[in-house]
Structure 1
């Protein structure tokens, strides 16, 4: 049963999403009753990739874990459903689902092939927007790979940000990506990019996942969650149909020095090229090599940044809910 009412989409949904689509959605998309109720009553909701476990509720938000279960896109999953999806990920039978794969996996589900899948940022954003959710908390953003100007190896996360009005809060890009080109590409897509100052004064670096300092300055600096919420609110009211990227640096105590990782990354990129790892296979290979070389440091940093990103996303969602109640009541 399709549980997402048209009123949840409102003016935020492009006509192409809303026009004549209710019947199709009833077969392919399920939004939990809790998420429907939370959006309808103005409670703060945070979209999450189905591979992330969080403490959203502790900070006053409603977690909307997104994934594909038995060929049906789910927005808001129970603990039992998460366990079921997680077990397929462990066996390697779950698909990695980007925007391009949503029709494929849901279409096969309609034919009786009930596949499971974990959504990437682009897939999560697309489904979150359909449900009326405007904030996504995640680990790291995809980007332009080194040499991307010739290989065209560019993450779908970036183009999704250019066309879907969801604010993504992450710890920037993975260290092995070309951060300068990534920011240039996001500028071309019309995406507002800002980094939380965390008490720092003046311009700050755009973070590089495991490290706070990438050597590349952030286009904008954001003081706190209230400012972030105001940006999201203003953009929704203009309206501007692009996403926003809010970069949240890994906590200082878990940040790994840039120079400590540069050599490992260069060697990993070289090995990936020599062994023929390309496209979607490239990132997991390089990450595995970085973890092998760095051990517990990377694991601890990864755990810390995911937790702080989701916490910050929840606080932004809470501030956004306050703004909406305050300003919309005046209309």
Structure 2
């Protein structure tokens, strides 16, 4: 049996039937600098509570799979060094070896499903990296969405990725991609993109019903809800595009590959936008947490 421990708040929520929203932990350890990472994690958890749900930030601490972090655990994780970045391939190994690691989208989905949590809020999913036709660098997040029955609320795929190929792979894998409240897919820091959404839903109730219908049909996998960042906080795609290209060129020159690519690109774009990308990232995470809470609440009514 896996050593899985629930926080006191999550334990109480499960006992009383209060909706729960899963949160990843790589945004704390690999996505933002300290202290913004801990501050954002706390703000995100608070946003979920304000909507009437309970947050369950997921991480592996000393070999224990934690479903929800206590205050001191969150503080420690936010300042820890050398924390492993866990996906499907290394989640079990980290647990079995007594290690400490932060969960990516894929690993968080696995843990959330194991803990019977149906909704997960994140910033943006991983996807097909630029040049994947040569490197075969495709995030495990896409396959996870195709096989693990969790509804994931994100601001689309990260804009540093090859978005056309990412959307194509999700379609091939049979993953429902639902744009919330608009006909175009968002592009992480940008509210809209050039890509038409295959599905559109305008209410949390409709998204919850789609989740339940998929479950009733016995169709494996989850669904991706692409929730646009509020326009007041977006960075237009035309502004970001040349900066992303510059960061990608720098990563290639420095021969940065694998799991190191995304943190490097996010850091460079933070520098190139004078910190605007970080504030946008914070706002989209909060926005996703609020919508995920409403979806989780609707699921509890079923």
Calculate the TM-score normalised by the size of structure 2. 0.90
1:99 aligns with 2:88: yes
| Structure 1 position 33, deviation (Å) | 5.2
Q: Say which of 31, 42, 45 aligns to 2:17.
A: 42
Residues in 2 aligned to 1:77 and 1:155: alpha-carbon distance in whole angstroms:
26
Residues in 1 aligned to 2:130 and 2:113: alpha-carbon distance in whole angstroms:
30
CA RMSD across the alignment: 1.5
Contact 1:125 1:164 in 2 (8 A): yes
Deviation track 1:137-187 (CA, whole Å, cap 9, x = no partner) reads 011110101121332110111111111000100101121211111111111
Deviation track 1:240-260 (CA, whole Å, cap 9, x = no partner) reads 220110010010101111111
1:61 aligns with 2:53: yes
Residues in 2 aligned to 1:81 and 1:315: alpha-carbon distance in whole angstroms:
26
Residues in 2 aligned to 1:268 and 1:84: alpha-carbon distance in whole angstroms:
31
Residues in 2 aligned to 1:49 and 1:175: alpha-carbon distance in whole angstroms:
19
Q: Could you tell me which residue of structure 2 aligns to residue 82 of structure 1? A: 74
1:129 aligns with 2:113: yes
Q: Say which of 195, 204, 207 aligns to 1:228.
A: 207
1:144 aligns with 2:133: no
| Structure 1 position 73, deviation (Å) | 0.8
Residues in 2 aligned to 1:317 and 1:259: alpha-carbon distance in whole angstroms:
35
Question: With CA pairs under 8 Å and 6+ residues apart, which has the higher RCO, 1 or 2?
Answer: 2
For the residue of structure 1 that corresponds to 2:18, the secondary structure is coil
Contact 1:39 1:133 in 2 (8 A): no
Deviation track 1:299-318 (CA, whole Å, cap 9, x = no partner) reads 22111101111011001111
Query: Is 100-109 or 120-129 further displaced after alignment?
Result: 100-109
1:169 aligns with 2:153: yes
Deviation track 1:246-289 (CA, whole Å, cap 9, x = no partner) reads 01001010111111111111111111111101111111111111
Q: Could you tell me which residue of structure 2 aligns to residue 248 of structure 1? A: 227
Contact 1:29 1:74 in 2 (8 A): yes
1:157-236 matched pairs, under 5 angstroms: 157-197=141-181, 200=182, 204-236=183-215
For the residue of structure 2 that corresponds to 1:168, the secondary structure is strand
| Structure 1 position 212, deviation (Å) | 1.2
1:239-278 matched pairs, under 5 angstroms: 239-278=218-257
For the residue of structure 2 that corresponds to 1:162, the secondary structure is helix
Q: Could you tell me which residue of structure 2 aligns to residue 10 of structure 1? A: none
Contact 1:85 1:116 in 2 (8 A): no
Q: Could you tell me which residue of structure 1 aligns to residue 34 of structure 2? A: none
Query: Is 45-54 or 172-181 further displaced after alignment?
Result: 45-54
- In structure 2, the gaps of 5 or more residues are 29-40
For the residue of structure 2 that corresponds to 1:100, the secondary structure is coil
Residues in 2 aligned to 1:305 and 1:74: alpha-carbon distance in whole angstroms:
25
Contact 1:75 1:131 in 2 (8 A): yes
Calculate the TM-score normalised by the size of structure 1. 0.82
- In structure 1, the gaps of 5 or more residues are 1-23, 110-114, 325-331
Query: Is 213-222 or 118-127 further displaced after alignment?
Result: 213-222
Deviation track 1:194-232 (CA, whole Å, cap 9, x = no partner) reads 1111xx5xxx22111100122111111111211111111
For the residue of structure 2 that corresponds to 1:118, the secondary structure is strand
Deviation track 1:21-50 (CA, whole Å, cap 9, x = no partner) reads xxx22xx32234543453454321100113
Query: Is 182-191 or 36-45 further displaced after alignment?
Result: 36-45
Q: Could you tell me which residue of structure 2 aligns to residue 319 of structure 1? A: 298
Alignment: residue pair count: 285
For the residue of structure 1 that corresponds to 2:196, the secondary structure is coil
Q: Could you tell me which residue of structure 2 aligns to residue 120 of structure 1? A: 104
